[in-house]
A and B are shown apart, each in its own frame.
Chain A
Amino acid sequence: MPNPNDFAILFDASRCIGCKACQVACKQWNDLEAEHTRNAGGYANPPKLTASTWLAMRYYEGLRPDGEPYFDFVRGACMHCTHAPCVASCPTGAMAHREGGVVTVDQSTCIGCRSCVRACPYDAVHFDEERGVVQKCTMCYDRIANGDQPACVKACPTDALTFGRYQELQALAQERVRVLQARGYPRASVYGLKELGGTHVLYVLTDHPSQYGLPAAVREAEKRAMGGWLSAGIAAAVMGMGLKFIVDRREAFKGGRG
Protein backbone atom coordinates (compact mmCIF):
# COMPACT_ATOMS: atom_id res chain seq x y z
CA MET A 1 0.00 0.00 0.00
CA PRO A 2 1.29 3.47 -0.82
CA ASN A 3 1.67 5.88 2.07
CA PRO A 4 -1.62 7.81 2.55
CA ASN A 5 0.26 11.09 2.11
CA ASP A 6 2.10 10.03 -1.06
CA PHE A 7 1.64 11.93 -4.30
CA ALA A 8 -0.92 10.37 -6.64
CA ILE A 9 -2.71 10.90 -9.94
CA LEU A 10 -6.25 9.74 -10.64
CA PHE A 11 -7.31 9.05 -14.24
CA ASP A 12 -11.06 8.78 -14.74
CA ALA A 13 -11.76 7.02 -18.04
CA SER A 14 -15.45 7.91 -17.82
CA ARG A 15 -14.58 11.62 -18.01
CA CYS A 16 -11.82 11.40 -20.64
CA ILE A 17 -12.61 12.72 -24.13
CA GLY A 18 -9.33 11.50 -25.67
CA CYS A 19 -8.12 14.97 -26.69
CA LYS A 20 -4.43 14.25 -25.94
CA ALA A 21 -3.93 17.60 -24.20
CA CYS A 22 -2.11 15.67 -21.43
CA GLN A 23 0.15 14.02 -23.98
CA VAL A 24 1.12 17.35 -25.53
CA ALA A 25 1.54 19.09 -22.15
CA CYS A 26 3.88 16.27 -21.07
CA LYS A 27 6.02 16.79 -24.16
CA GLN A 28 6.12 20.53 -23.71
CA TRP A 29 6.96 20.66 -20.01
CA ASN A 30 9.56 17.91 -20.18
CA ASP A 31 11.04 19.25 -23.41
CA LEU A 32 10.59 15.94 -25.27
CA GLU A 33 11.11 15.81 -29.00
CA ALA A 34 8.32 15.06 -31.44
CA GLU A 35 8.54 11.73 -33.24
CA HIS A 36 8.12 10.78 -36.87
CA THR A 37 5.26 8.30 -36.86
CA ARG A 38 3.07 6.56 -39.40
CA ASN A 39 -0.65 5.99 -39.39
CA ALA A 40 -0.97 2.68 -37.60
CA GLY A 41 -4.69 2.38 -38.24
CA GLY A 42 -5.82 3.83 -34.92
CA TYR A 43 -6.05 7.08 -33.04
CA ALA A 44 -3.07 6.36 -30.80
CA ASN A 45 -0.05 8.32 -31.96
CA PRO A 46 2.74 7.51 -31.26
CA PRO A 47 1.50 3.90 -31.04
CA LYS A 48 3.60 3.18 -27.96
CA LEU A 49 5.62 4.96 -25.30
CA THR A 50 9.25 5.77 -26.08
CA ALA A 51 12.18 7.58 -24.48
CA SER A 52 10.72 10.86 -25.75
CA THR A 53 7.04 10.01 -25.24
CA TRP A 54 6.34 9.42 -21.56
CA LEU A 55 2.58 9.66 -21.83
CA ALA A 56 0.43 8.51 -24.76
CA MET A 57 -3.30 7.92 -24.96
CA ARG A 58 -4.51 4.54 -26.21
CA TYR A 59 -7.83 4.06 -27.98
CA TYR A 60 -10.07 1.00 -28.10
CA GLU A 61 -13.13 0.73 -30.28
CA GLY A 62 -15.50 -2.01 -31.34
CA LEU A 63 -18.76 -3.74 -30.50
CA ARG A 64 -19.60 -5.31 -27.17
CA PRO A 65 -21.12 -8.82 -27.17
CA ASP A 66 -24.57 -7.22 -26.83
CA GLY A 67 -24.02 -5.22 -30.04
CA GLU A 68 -23.48 -1.91 -28.25
CA PRO A 69 -20.56 0.07 -29.77
CA TYR A 70 -17.77 1.31 -27.51
CA PHE A 71 -14.94 3.81 -27.96
CA ASP A 72 -12.74 3.92 -24.88
CA PHE A 73 -9.60 5.90 -24.10
CA VAL A 74 -6.96 5.13 -21.56
CA ARG A 75 -3.89 6.94 -20.34
CA GLY A 76 -0.66 5.07 -21.00
CA ALA A 77 2.23 6.12 -18.76
CA CYS A 78 4.23 5.11 -15.71
CA MET A 79 1.99 3.91 -12.86
CA HIS A 80 4.56 4.71 -10.12
CA CYS A 81 4.10 1.29 -8.48
CA THR A 82 4.85 0.74 -4.80
CA HIS A 83 6.61 -2.57 -5.58
CA ALA A 84 7.93 -1.28 -8.89
CA PRO A 85 9.57 -4.00 -11.06
CA CYS A 86 11.85 -1.39 -12.63
CA VAL A 87 13.20 -0.42 -9.20
CA ALA A 88 13.62 -4.07 -8.18
CA SER A 89 15.49 -4.92 -11.37
CA CYS A 90 17.85 -1.93 -11.33
CA PRO A 91 21.42 -3.07 -10.54
CA THR A 92 22.78 0.38 -9.66
CA GLY A 93 20.02 2.03 -7.65
CA ALA A 94 19.53 4.63 -10.39
CA MET A 95 15.84 3.73 -10.66
CA ALA A 96 14.37 4.42 -7.24
CA HIS A 97 11.45 5.76 -5.25
CA ARG A 98 11.75 9.39 -4.31
CA GLU A 99 9.95 11.11 -1.47
CA GLY A 100 6.22 10.81 -1.96
CA GLY A 101 6.43 7.40 -3.67
CA VAL A 102 7.36 8.75 -7.09
CA VAL A 103 9.62 6.52 -9.23
CA THR A 104 12.33 8.29 -11.20
CA VAL A 105 15.66 7.40 -12.78
CA ASP A 106 18.88 9.15 -11.79
CA GLN A 107 20.44 9.92 -15.15
CA SER A 108 23.91 10.39 -13.72
CA THR A 109 24.16 6.83 -12.32
CA CYS A 110 22.06 4.84 -14.85
CA ILE A 111 24.35 2.56 -16.86
CA GLY A 112 21.86 1.79 -19.63
CA CYS A 113 21.53 -1.97 -19.06
CA ARG A 114 17.80 -1.85 -19.96
CA SER A 115 16.75 -4.35 -17.26
CA CYS A 116 13.97 -1.96 -16.23
CA VAL A 117 12.74 -1.70 -19.83
CA ARG A 118 12.09 -5.47 -19.84
CA ALA A 119 10.74 -5.47 -16.28
CA CYS A 120 7.95 -2.91 -16.66
CA PRO A 121 4.54 -4.53 -17.28
CA TYR A 122 3.22 -1.15 -18.52
CA ASP A 123 6.01 -0.63 -21.09
CA ALA A 124 6.63 2.78 -19.51
CA VAL A 125 10.45 2.80 -19.35
CA HIS A 126 12.48 3.28 -22.51
CA PHE A 127 16.08 3.62 -23.59
CA ASP A 128 17.35 6.98 -24.77
CA GLU A 129 19.84 6.10 -27.50
CA GLU A 130 21.38 9.56 -27.54
CA ARG A 131 22.09 9.76 -23.84
CA GLY A 132 22.67 6.06 -23.22
CA VAL A 133 20.30 5.99 -20.22
CA VAL A 134 16.61 5.20 -19.70
CA GLN A 135 13.80 7.75 -19.54
CA LYS A 136 10.33 7.72 -18.02
CA CYS A 137 7.55 9.82 -16.52
CA THR A 138 8.70 11.66 -13.39
CA MET A 139 5.18 12.66 -12.31
CA CYS A 140 6.67 16.11 -13.07
CA TYR A 141 8.71 15.93 -9.88
CA ASP A 142 10.13 19.37 -10.59
CA ARG A 143 6.58 20.77 -10.51
CA ILE A 144 4.99 18.78 -7.68
CA ALA A 145 7.97 19.31 -5.38
CA ASN A 146 7.20 23.03 -5.72
CA GLY A 147 3.52 22.69 -4.97
CA ASP A 148 2.26 22.64 -8.56
CA GLN A 149 0.34 19.91 -10.41
CA PRO A 150 1.92 17.62 -13.02
CA ALA A 151 1.72 19.11 -16.53
CA CYS A 152 -0.73 16.44 -17.77
CA VAL A 153 -3.16 17.09 -14.90
CA LYS A 154 -2.96 20.85 -15.36
CA ALA A 155 -3.78 20.53 -19.06
CA CYS A 156 -6.79 18.20 -18.74
CA PRO A 157 -9.94 20.12 -19.82
CA THR A 158 -12.51 17.65 -18.44
CA ASP A 159 -11.16 16.84 -14.97
CA ALA A 160 -10.40 13.31 -16.10
CA LEU A 161 -7.03 13.78 -14.39
CA THR A 162 -6.71 14.77 -10.75
CA PHE A 163 -3.57 15.23 -8.70
CA GLY A 164 -3.40 14.95 -4.93
CA ARG A 165 -2.58 12.80 -1.90
CA TYR A 166 -3.02 9.04 -2.28
CA GLN A 167 -5.59 8.67 0.48
CA GLU A 168 -7.86 11.38 -0.92
CA LEU A 169 -7.65 10.17 -4.51
CA GLN A 170 -8.27 6.55 -3.48
CA ALA A 171 -11.49 7.62 -1.73
CA LEU A 172 -12.46 9.78 -4.70
CA ALA A 173 -11.89 6.86 -7.10
CA GLN A 174 -13.97 4.45 -5.07
CA GLU A 175 -16.79 6.97 -4.73
CA ARG A 176 -16.74 7.56 -8.49
CA VAL A 177 -16.96 3.82 -9.17
CA ARG A 178 -20.02 3.59 -6.92
CA VAL A 179 -21.65 6.39 -8.94
CA LEU A 180 -20.76 4.75 -12.26
CA GLN A 181 -22.09 1.36 -11.15
CA ALA A 182 -25.37 3.03 -10.16
CA ARG A 183 -25.50 4.73 -13.56
CA GLY A 184 -25.36 1.49 -15.55
CA TYR A 185 -21.71 0.50 -15.67
CA PRO A 186 -21.79 -2.72 -13.63
CA ARG A 187 -18.18 -3.59 -14.54
CA ALA A 188 -16.78 -0.21 -13.42
CA SER A 189 -13.74 -0.62 -11.16
CA VAL A 190 -10.64 1.05 -9.80
CA TYR A 191 -7.39 -0.22 -11.33
CA GLY A 192 -4.17 0.03 -9.34
CA LEU A 193 -5.34 -0.66 -5.79
CA LYS A 194 -3.79 -4.14 -5.62
CA GLU A 195 -1.42 -4.18 -8.59
CA LEU A 196 2.27 -4.22 -7.61
CA GLY A 197 1.67 -3.15 -4.03
CA GLY A 198 -0.69 -0.40 -5.11
CA THR A 199 0.15 2.09 -7.84
CA HIS A 200 0.42 5.84 -7.30
CA VAL A 201 -1.57 6.38 -10.48
CA LEU A 202 -5.13 5.08 -10.09
CA TYR A 203 -7.56 4.47 -12.96
CA VAL A 204 -11.33 4.60 -12.79
CA LEU A 205 -12.53 2.29 -15.58
CA THR A 206 -16.02 1.67 -16.91
CA ASP A 207 -15.14 -1.85 -18.03
CA HIS A 208 -12.80 -4.73 -17.22
CA PRO A 209 -9.08 -3.67 -17.24
CA SER A 210 -8.32 -6.09 -20.11
CA GLN A 211 -10.70 -4.01 -22.24
CA TYR A 212 -8.17 -1.17 -21.88
CA GLY A 213 -5.10 -3.29 -22.59
CA LEU A 214 -4.13 -3.21 -18.91
CA PRO A 215 -2.41 -6.33 -17.51
CA ALA A 216 -4.83 -8.00 -15.10
CA ALA A 217 -2.52 -10.19 -13.02
CA VAL A 218 0.90 -8.59 -12.64
CA ARG A 219 3.54 -10.19 -10.43
CA GLU A 220 6.33 -8.43 -8.61
CA ALA A 221 9.75 -8.80 -10.20
CA GLU A 222 11.15 -10.10 -6.89
CA LYS A 223 8.64 -12.98 -6.91
CA ARG A 224 9.47 -13.79 -10.53
CA ALA A 225 13.19 -13.81 -9.75
CA MET A 226 12.66 -16.02 -6.69
CA GLY A 227 10.62 -18.43 -8.81
CA GLY A 228 13.40 -18.44 -11.39
CA TRP A 229 16.12 -19.20 -8.82
CA LEU A 230 14.00 -21.94 -7.29
CA SER A 231 13.40 -23.50 -10.71
CA ALA A 232 17.12 -23.23 -11.51
CA GLY A 233 18.06 -24.92 -8.23
CA ILE A 234 15.69 -27.80 -8.85
CA ALA A 235 16.90 -28.07 -12.46
CA ALA A 236 20.57 -28.18 -11.44
CA ALA A 237 19.94 -30.78 -8.72
CA VAL A 238 17.70 -33.02 -10.84
CA MET A 239 19.79 -32.89 -14.02
CA GLY A 240 23.15 -33.08 -12.23
CA MET A 241 22.19 -36.09 -10.13
CA GLY A 242 20.28 -37.71 -12.96
CA LEU A 243 23.30 -37.55 -15.23
CA LYS A 244 25.66 -38.75 -12.53
CA PHE A 245 23.35 -41.68 -11.83
CA ILE A 246 23.08 -42.66 -15.49
CA VAL A 247 26.81 -42.32 -16.15
CA ASP A 248 27.86 -44.21 -13.00
CA ARG A 249 25.37 -46.99 -13.57
CA ARG A 250 26.57 -47.49 -17.12
CA GLU A 251 30.11 -47.55 -15.85
CA ALA A 252 29.18 -50.14 -13.23
CA PHE A 253 27.58 -52.33 -15.88
CA LYS A 254 30.70 -52.11 -17.98
CA GLY A 255 32.91 -52.89 -15.01
CA GLY A 256 30.82 -55.95 -14.22
CA ARG A 257 31.12 -57.27 -17.74
CA GLY A 258 34.76 -56.40 -18.27
Chain B
Amino acid sequence: MITLNFPNPMGEEGWGLWVALYFFLAGTGGGAYLISVLYCSQERVRRAALWAFVGVVLGSVLLILDLGQPLRFANLILGGVYPSSVMWLGTWFLLLSGAGLLWVMARPTSRGVQYLVAFLVALVVAYTAVLLTATARPFWNASPLLPWLFLASSATAGGALLQLLAPHERLKRLVVGMALVEGLMVALHLLWTYPVAQGAVLALLVGPLAWAFWGFVVLGWGIPLALERRHVGLAAVLTLVGAFLLRYFVVLAGQV
Protein backbone atom coordinates (compact mmCIF):
# COMPACT_ATOMS: atom_id res chain seq x y z
CA MET B 1 0.00 0.00 0.00
CA ILE B 2 1.41 3.34 -1.04
CA THR B 3 0.33 6.40 0.87
CA LEU B 4 0.95 9.84 -0.50
CA ASN B 5 -0.51 12.54 1.68
CA PHE B 6 -0.50 16.08 0.44
CA PRO B 7 0.36 18.65 3.13
CA ASN B 8 -2.77 20.30 4.43
CA PRO B 9 -2.82 23.17 6.94
CA MET B 10 -6.18 21.92 8.28
CA GLY B 11 -4.76 18.59 9.32
CA GLU B 12 -5.09 15.81 6.83
CA GLU B 13 -8.66 14.90 7.70
CA GLY B 14 -10.08 18.30 6.78
CA TRP B 15 -10.76 19.74 3.38
CA GLY B 16 -8.35 22.64 3.30
CA LEU B 17 -6.15 24.73 1.06
CA TRP B 18 -5.98 22.26 -1.83
CA VAL B 19 -9.70 21.74 -2.05
CA ALA B 20 -10.26 25.52 -1.89
CA LEU B 21 -7.65 26.05 -4.60
CA TYR B 22 -9.26 23.39 -6.75
CA PHE B 23 -12.73 24.95 -6.31
CA PHE B 24 -11.17 28.29 -7.28
CA LEU B 25 -9.41 26.98 -10.41
CA ALA B 26 -12.40 25.03 -11.68
CA GLY B 27 -14.74 27.89 -10.74
CA THR B 28 -12.75 30.68 -12.34
CA GLY B 29 -11.87 28.82 -15.54
CA GLY B 30 -15.40 27.49 -15.81
CA GLY B 31 -16.86 30.93 -15.13
CA ALA B 32 -14.71 32.45 -17.89
CA TYR B 33 -16.00 29.90 -20.39
CA LEU B 34 -19.64 30.32 -19.31
CA ILE B 35 -19.44 34.10 -19.62
CA SER B 36 -17.76 33.90 -23.01
CA VAL B 37 -20.32 31.46 -24.42
CA LEU B 38 -23.25 33.51 -23.20
CA TYR B 39 -21.99 36.98 -23.98
CA CYS B 40 -18.86 37.02 -26.18
CA SER B 41 -17.69 36.53 -29.76
CA GLN B 42 -16.54 33.22 -31.24
CA GLU B 43 -12.79 33.74 -30.99
CA ARG B 44 -13.10 34.68 -27.31
CA VAL B 45 -15.02 31.48 -26.68
CA ARG B 46 -12.13 29.37 -27.90
CA ARG B 47 -9.61 31.31 -25.85
CA ALA B 48 -11.80 31.04 -22.75
CA ALA B 49 -12.13 27.31 -23.38
CA LEU B 50 -8.36 27.04 -23.07
CA TRP B 51 -8.45 28.77 -19.67
CA ALA B 52 -11.33 26.63 -18.50
CA PHE B 53 -9.48 23.51 -19.64
CA VAL B 54 -6.38 24.56 -17.69
CA GLY B 55 -8.55 25.22 -14.63
CA VAL B 56 -10.35 21.89 -14.86
CA VAL B 57 -7.15 19.90 -15.39
CA LEU B 58 -5.15 21.66 -12.65
CA GLY B 59 -8.12 21.38 -10.32
CA SER B 60 -8.44 17.66 -10.99
CA VAL B 61 -4.74 17.16 -10.31
CA LEU B 62 -5.11 18.93 -6.95
CA LEU B 63 -8.20 16.88 -6.17
CA ILE B 64 -6.30 13.64 -6.82
CA LEU B 65 -3.21 14.69 -4.85
CA ASP B 66 -5.43 15.61 -1.90
CA LEU B 67 -6.76 12.04 -1.68
CA GLY B 68 -5.45 9.79 1.07
CA GLN B 69 -4.72 7.20 -1.62
CA PRO B 70 -3.98 9.22 -4.79
CA LEU B 71 -2.87 6.16 -6.72
CA ARG B 72 -6.33 4.67 -6.38
CA PHE B 73 -7.98 7.65 -8.12
CA ALA B 74 -9.16 5.36 -10.94
CA ASN B 75 -11.64 3.85 -8.44
CA LEU B 76 -13.62 7.09 -8.89
CA ILE B 77 -14.35 6.10 -12.49
CA LEU B 78 -14.04 2.33 -12.47
CA GLY B 79 -15.45 1.64 -9.00
CA GLY B 80 -19.09 1.54 -10.08
CA VAL B 81 -22.10 3.82 -10.55
CA TYR B 82 -22.95 6.00 -7.53
CA PRO B 83 -25.21 8.88 -8.62
CA SER B 84 -26.10 9.68 -4.99
CA SER B 85 -22.46 10.61 -4.39
CA VAL B 86 -21.79 14.22 -5.36
CA MET B 87 -18.07 13.44 -5.49
CA TRP B 88 -18.72 10.68 -8.05
CA LEU B 89 -20.93 12.94 -10.18
CA GLY B 90 -18.34 15.71 -9.98
CA THR B 91 -15.61 13.39 -11.20
CA TRP B 92 -17.64 12.59 -14.31
CA PHE B 93 -18.54 16.25 -14.87
CA LEU B 94 -14.83 17.12 -14.68
CA LEU B 95 -13.91 14.37 -17.12
CA LEU B 96 -16.68 15.13 -19.63
CA SER B 97 -16.28 18.90 -19.47
CA GLY B 98 -12.51 18.53 -19.91
CA ALA B 99 -13.04 16.49 -23.05
CA GLY B 100 -15.68 18.94 -24.28
CA LEU B 101 -13.46 21.96 -23.69
CA LEU B 102 -10.65 20.26 -25.57
CA TRP B 103 -13.01 19.78 -28.49
CA VAL B 104 -14.17 23.41 -28.47
CA MET B 105 -10.54 24.53 -28.30
CA ALA B 106 -9.21 22.24 -30.98
CA ARG B 107 -11.46 23.22 -33.86
CA PRO B 108 -14.26 25.62 -34.73
CA THR B 109 -17.50 24.27 -33.31
CA SER B 110 -21.14 25.14 -33.71
CA ARG B 111 -22.99 27.19 -31.08
CA GLY B 112 -24.91 24.06 -30.12
CA VAL B 113 -21.77 22.16 -29.16
CA GLN B 114 -20.49 25.16 -27.23
CA TYR B 115 -23.73 25.38 -25.27
CA LEU B 116 -23.61 21.65 -24.53
CA VAL B 117 -20.07 22.00 -23.16
CA ALA B 118 -21.19 25.10 -21.25
CA PHE B 119 -23.85 22.95 -19.58
CA LEU B 120 -21.18 20.48 -18.45
CA VAL B 121 -18.95 23.31 -17.23
CA ALA B 122 -21.89 24.80 -15.30
CA LEU B 123 -22.34 21.40 -13.65
CA VAL B 124 -18.68 21.41 -12.59
CA VAL B 125 -19.03 24.88 -11.06
CA ALA B 126 -22.31 23.95 -9.36
CA TYR B 127 -20.95 20.64 -8.10
CA THR B 128 -18.28 22.37 -6.02
CA ALA B 129 -21.13 23.97 -4.07
CA VAL B 130 -23.46 20.95 -3.98
CA LEU B 131 -20.60 18.83 -2.62
CA LEU B 132 -20.65 21.06 0.47
CA THR B 133 -24.47 21.38 0.59
CA ALA B 134 -24.90 17.58 0.75
CA THR B 135 -22.83 17.23 3.95
CA ALA B 136 -23.96 17.28 7.58
CA ARG B 137 -22.20 20.58 8.36
CA PRO B 138 -24.69 23.35 9.24
CA PHE B 139 -22.65 26.22 7.78
CA TRP B 140 -22.76 24.46 4.40
CA ASN B 141 -26.19 22.86 4.39
CA ALA B 142 -28.47 25.19 6.35
CA SER B 143 -28.94 27.66 3.51
CA PRO B 144 -29.69 26.80 -0.14
CA LEU B 145 -27.57 29.74 -1.27
CA LEU B 146 -24.14 28.13 -1.59
CA PRO B 147 -24.73 27.17 -5.28
CA TRP B 148 -25.89 30.75 -5.94
CA LEU B 149 -22.80 32.13 -4.23
CA PHE B 150 -20.35 29.86 -6.07
CA LEU B 151 -22.01 30.42 -9.46
CA ALA B 152 -22.04 34.20 -8.95
CA SER B 153 -18.45 34.19 -7.76
CA SER B 154 -17.38 32.02 -10.71
CA ALA B 155 -19.03 34.43 -13.14
CA THR B 156 -17.35 37.41 -11.44
CA ALA B 157 -13.93 35.76 -11.36
CA GLY B 158 -14.30 34.33 -14.87
CA GLY B 159 -15.31 37.75 -16.15
CA ALA B 160 -12.34 39.31 -14.36
CA LEU B 161 -10.03 36.75 -15.99
CA LEU B 162 -11.39 37.65 -19.43
CA GLN B 163 -11.04 41.36 -18.56
CA LEU B 164 -7.42 40.79 -17.69
CA LEU B 165 -6.77 39.22 -21.09
CA ALA B 166 -8.81 41.68 -23.16
CA PRO B 167 -10.78 44.47 -21.47
CA HIS B 168 -14.25 45.06 -22.81
CA GLU B 169 -17.03 47.46 -21.82
CA ARG B 170 -19.68 44.74 -21.89
CA LEU B 171 -17.61 42.49 -19.63
CA LYS B 172 -17.15 45.31 -17.15
CA ARG B 173 -20.90 45.63 -16.67
CA LEU B 174 -21.19 41.88 -16.27
CA VAL B 175 -18.45 41.69 -13.67
CA VAL B 176 -19.90 44.57 -11.65
CA GLY B 177 -23.40 43.08 -11.82
CA MET B 178 -22.26 39.63 -10.75
CA ALA B 179 -20.02 41.04 -7.99
CA LEU B 180 -23.07 42.79 -6.53
CA VAL B 181 -25.05 39.54 -6.62
CA GLU B 182 -22.08 37.72 -5.04
CA GLY B 183 -21.88 40.25 -2.19
CA LEU B 184 -25.60 39.94 -1.57
CA MET B 185 -25.30 36.13 -1.49
CA VAL B 186 -22.44 36.21 1.05
CA ALA B 187 -24.47 38.46 3.34
CA LEU B 188 -27.65 36.38 2.97
CA HIS B 189 -25.81 33.10 3.50
CA LEU B 190 -24.21 34.32 6.73
CA LEU B 191 -27.53 35.64 8.04
CA TRP B 192 -29.33 32.43 7.08
CA THR B 193 -26.81 30.08 8.68
CA TYR B 194 -26.12 32.15 11.80
CA PRO B 195 -28.86 30.57 13.96
CA VAL B 196 -27.48 27.02 13.44
CA ALA B 197 -23.79 27.68 12.75
CA GLN B 198 -22.91 30.52 15.11
CA GLY B 199 -19.40 29.20 15.64
CA ALA B 200 -18.61 29.25 11.93
CA VAL B 201 -20.11 32.70 11.31
CA LEU B 202 -18.31 34.18 14.31
CA ALA B 203 -15.03 32.56 13.22
CA LEU B 204 -15.45 34.43 9.93
CA LEU B 205 -16.48 37.78 11.38
CA VAL B 206 -14.18 38.05 14.40
CA GLY B 207 -12.39 34.72 14.77
CA PRO B 208 -9.47 32.83 13.24
CA LEU B 209 -10.87 33.11 9.69
CA ALA B 210 -11.53 36.86 9.89
CA TRP B 211 -8.43 37.61 7.79
CA ALA B 212 -9.81 35.58 4.88
CA PHE B 213 -13.36 36.90 5.23
CA TRP B 214 -12.50 40.59 5.57
CA GLY B 215 -9.69 40.15 3.07
CA PHE B 216 -12.34 39.02 0.61
CA VAL B 217 -14.78 41.78 1.52
CA VAL B 218 -12.26 44.63 1.31
CA LEU B 219 -9.49 43.50 -1.03
CA GLY B 220 -11.35 41.01 -3.21
CA TRP B 221 -14.74 42.70 -3.49
CA GLY B 222 -14.98 46.32 -2.30
CA ILE B 223 -11.78 47.72 -3.80
CA PRO B 224 -12.28 46.03 -7.21
CA LEU B 225 -15.81 47.46 -7.39
CA ALA B 226 -14.43 50.93 -6.67
CA LEU B 227 -11.52 50.54 -9.10
CA GLU B 228 -13.51 48.99 -11.94
CA ARG B 229 -13.81 52.31 -13.78
CA ARG B 230 -10.17 53.39 -13.68
CA HIS B 231 -7.83 50.44 -13.14
CA VAL B 232 -9.47 47.49 -14.85
CA GLY B 233 -6.37 45.28 -14.66
CA LEU B 234 -5.77 45.80 -10.94
CA ALA B 235 -9.47 45.34 -10.20
CA ALA B 236 -9.44 42.05 -12.12
CA VAL B 237 -6.40 40.73 -10.25
CA LEU B 238 -7.95 41.64 -6.89
CA THR B 239 -11.23 40.02 -7.90
CA LEU B 240 -9.38 36.78 -8.60
CA VAL B 241 -7.67 36.95 -5.20
CA GLY B 242 -11.10 37.55 -3.69
CA ALA B 243 -12.59 34.53 -5.46
CA PHE B 244 -9.91 32.33 -3.93
CA LEU B 245 -10.34 33.82 -0.44
CA LEU B 246 -14.11 33.30 -0.70
CA ARG B 247 -13.73 29.59 -1.41
CA TYR B 248 -11.05 29.26 1.23
CA PHE B 249 -13.16 30.74 4.00
CA VAL B 250 -16.31 28.88 2.97
CA VAL B 251 -14.46 25.54 2.91
CA LEU B 252 -12.77 26.14 6.27
CA ALA B 253 -15.72 27.70 8.09
CA GLY B 254 -17.83 24.60 7.50
CA GLN B 255 -15.33 22.59 9.51
CA VAL B 256 -14.85 24.96 12.46
Interfacial residues, chain A to chain B (CB-CB below 8 A): 51, 85, 88-94, 109-115, 117-121, 126-134, 215, 218-219, 221-222, 224-225, 227-229, 231-233, 235-236, 239-240, 243-244, 246-247, 250-251
B174 at the A/B interface (Cβ < 8 Å)?
yes
- Report which residue of B75, B76, B136 has the largest number of chain A beta carbons within 10 angstroms of its beta carbon: B136
Provide the bound-state CA to CA distance between A244 and B39, in Å.
7
**A236-B122, A239-B155, A239-B181 as given contacts; A112 in contact with B67, CB under 8 Å:** yes
Shortest distance in angstroms between B141's beta carbon and chain A's nearest beta carbon?
6
Cβ of A224 and Cβ of B133 under 8 Å apart? yes
**Subset of 11 A-B contacts with CB under 8 Å:** A85-B136, A88-B84, A89-B87, A93-B82, A118-B254, A129-B13, A132-B69, A221-B135, A232-B147, A235-B147, A247-B170
Cβ of A132 and Cβ of B4 under 8 Å apart? yes
A110 (CB) vs chain B CBs: closest residue: B69
Cβ of B178 and Cβ of A243 under 8 Å apart? yes
**A89-B85, A112-B69, A235-B148 as given contacts; A243 in contact with B79, CB under 8 Å:** no
Shortest distance in angstroms between B170's beta carbon and chain A's nearest beta carbon?
6
Shortest distance in angstroms between B108's beta carbon and chain A's nearest beta carbon?
23
**A91-B85, A92-B80, A225-B134 as given contacts; A232 in contact with B75, CB under 8 Å:** no
Chain B residues 139-154 with CB under 8 Å of chain A are: 141, 144-148, 151-152
Cβ of B13 and Cβ of A127 under 8 Å apart? yes
B11 (CB) vs chain A CBs: closest residue: A129
Cβ of A111 and Cβ of B68 under 8 Å apart? yes
Provide the bound-state CA to CA distance between A92 and B82, in Å.
7
B38 at the A/B interface (Cβ < 8 Å)?
yes
B103 at the A/B interface (Cβ < 8 Å)?
no
Write the B68-88 contact mask toward A (1 if CB under 8 angstroms, else 0): 111011011001101011111
Pick the contact of A229 from B38, B91, B126, B155 — CB < 8 Å? B126
User: CB-CB < 8 A to A129: which residues of B?
Assistant: 5, 12-13, 68
B137 at the A/B interface (Cβ < 8 Å)?
yes
User: CB-CB < 8 A to A121: which residues of B?
Assistant: 136
Interface size band for B: 35 or more
**A118-B135, A232-B151, A239-B178 as given contacts; A113 in contact with B87, CB under 8 Å:** yes
A248 (CB) vs chain B CBs: closest residue: B39
Shortest distance in angstroms between B25's beta carbon and chain A's nearest beta carbon?
18
Provide the bound-state CA to CA distance between A228 and B34, in Å.
20
Cβ of A235 and Cβ of B151 under 8 Å apart? yes
User: CB-CB < 8 A to A231: which residues of B?
Assistant: 133, 144-148
Cβ of B75 and Cβ of A243 under 8 Å apart? no
Provide the bound-state CA to CA distance between A120 and B137, in Å.
9
Cβ of A229 and Cβ of B82 under 8 Å apart? no
Cβ of B67 and Cβ of A93 under 8 Å apart? no
Pick the contact of B147 from A110, A228, A243, A246 — CB < 8 Å? A228
Closest 10 A/B residue pairs (Cβ):
A112-B68, A132-B68, A228-B133, A228-B130, A232-B147, A232-B126, A91-B88, A92-B79, A127-B13, A118-B135
B195 at the A/B interface (Cβ < 8 Å)?
no
User: CB-CB < 8 A to A93: which residues of B?
Assistant: 79-80, 82
Cβ of A126 and Cβ of B13 under 8 Å apart? yes
Shortest distance in angstroms between A188's beta carbon and chain B's nearest beta carbon?
26
**A227-B133, A232-B130, A247-B39 as given contacts; A114 in contact with B84, CB under 8 Å:** no
Provide the bound-state CA to CA distance between A126 and B13, in Å.
7
B207 at the A/B interface (Cβ < 8 Å)?
no
User: CB-CB < 8 A to B79: which residues of A?
Assistant: 91-94, 109
Provide the bound-state CA to CA distance between A114 and B14, in Å.
8
Provide the bound-state CA to CA distance between A70 and B55, in Å.
55
User: CB-CB < 8 A to B70: which residues of A?
Assistant: 111
Pick the contact of B73 from A111, A131, A232, A247 — CB < 8 Å? A111
User: CB-CB < 8 A to A221: which residues of B?
Assistant: 84, 134-136
User: CB-CB < 8 A to B134: which residues of A?
Assistant: 89, 119, 221, 224-225, 228
Provide the bound-state CA to CA distance between A253 and B233, in Å.
27
Cβ of A115 and Cβ of B3 under 8 Å apart? no
Provide the bound-state CA to CA distance between A203 and B76, in Å.
36
Shortest distance in angstroms between A215's beta carbon and chain B's nearest beta carbon?
8
User: CB-CB < 8 A to B4: which residues of A?
Assistant: 132
User: CB-CB < 8 A to A92: which residues of B?
Assistant: 72, 75-76, 79-80, 82, 88
Cβ of A114 and Cβ of B15 under 8 Å apart? yes
B111 at the A/B interface (Cβ < 8 Å)?
no
Pick the contact of A88 from B13, B38, B73, B85 — CB < 8 Å? B85
